[in-house]
Amino acid sequence: GNSVTQMEGPVTLSEEAFLTINCTYTATGYPSLFWYVQYPGEGLQLLLKATKADDKGSNKGFEATYRKETTSFHLEKGSVQVSDSAVYFCALMTTDSWGKLQFGAGTQVVVTP
Amino acid sequence: DTAVSQTPKYLVTQMGNDKSIKCEQNLGHDTMYWYKQDSKKFLKIMFSYNNKELIINETVPNRFSPKSPDKAHLNLHINSLELGDSAVYFCASSQVGRRNTGELFFGEGSRLTVL
């Protein structure tokens, strides 16, 4: 079956540090890949997505590239801010799934001043 | 206007009780979902409805019964609540099909605590 594996947290960083959160997936076919973010006390919001191999999704300084050869979709940001403190979820969606998202376990990121 | 709204936001109840959570979306989407987030933040889909028709029904106890009176509403009723039902329940919606962007829009969650 389909699955998403992402690095465990919490990840604690200082402001302006470089952030990487690893995500790998297992799926049949060619899934779309997503990063969702959950700020404290809120629901999930789409951060970025990529729908085919070698696509790069980007938003708010975050980037992730769909790597089919390594089945990965790692999230990166060059300089984090305290406001980036949140839980980040990697997810996949296959075309025959009626929009069903398969989530990774989530990675909590804590950015300190 | 809130795109996906859920009520109540917090729910504290005793074991054995029955409770409902309501969800409404004003995005004109045709598909709605219920996800459960456990204490470790793990998210798992429970149900999905497309135009009032049940299309996804994961392995969920039959104490959980979703109802979709129209495509803008999806409610979740839970009978005989158990301690393990304590979680945050998220409603979401999307436009599935030809205009699908792959994005789900989530509500703010309903935190259920069973004592």
pLDDT (tens digit per residue) in B64-93: 999 999 999 999 999 999 999 999 999 999
Low-confidence ranges of chain B (pLDDT < 70): 1, 97-101
Query: What whole-number distance in Å separates Cα of residue B11 and Cα of residue B55?
Result: 27
What number is the average pLDDT over the span A1-30? 93
Q: A18 vs chain B: nearest CA distance in angstroms? A: 24
Q: Cα–chain-centroid distance for residue B60?
A: 12
Query: What whole-number distance in Å separates Cα of residue B85 and Cα of residue A109?
Result: 27
Among A46, A98, A106, select the one facing B41 at the smallest CB separation: A106
The more confident residue out of A1 and B49 is B49
Among A46, A106, A108, select the one facing B103 at the smallest CB separation: A46
Among B40, B96, B102, select the one facing A51 at the smallest CB separation: B102
Residues in contact with B54: Cβ distance below 8 Å, sequence separation at least 6, in sequence order: B47, B48, B66, B68
Q: How far is CA A45 from CA A48, A63, A81, A88, in A?
A: 9, 15, 18, 10
User: Cβ of B2 under 8 Å from any chain A Cβ?
Assistant: no
User: Cβ of A45 under 8 Å from any chain B Cβ?
Assistant: yes
User: Cβ of B4 under 8 Å from any chain A Cβ?
Assistant: yes
**Residue whose entry in the numeric block shows the structure tokens 């999905």:** B48
Q: Give first-to-last CA distance, chain A, whole Å.
A: 41
Predicted local confidence at residue A15, as pLDDT: 97
Residues in contact with A106: Cβ distance below 8 Å, sequence separation at least 6, in sequence order: A6, A9, A38, A87, A88, A89, B41, B42, B43
Q: pLDDT at residue A107 above 80?
A: yes
Nearest to A28 by CA among A77, A96, A103: A96
Q: Write the pLDDT tens digit of every residue in A46-97.
A: 999 999 999 999 999 999 999 999 999 999 999 999 999 999 999 999 877 7
Residues in A closer than 8 angstroms to B100, CB to CB, are: 99
| DSSP code, position A79 | S
User: What pLDDT band is residue A8 in, cutting at 50, 70 and 90?
Assistant: confident
Predicted local confidence at residue A41, as pLDDT: 86
- Which residues 39-68 of chain B have a CB within 8 Å of chain A? 40-45, 48, 50, 55-56
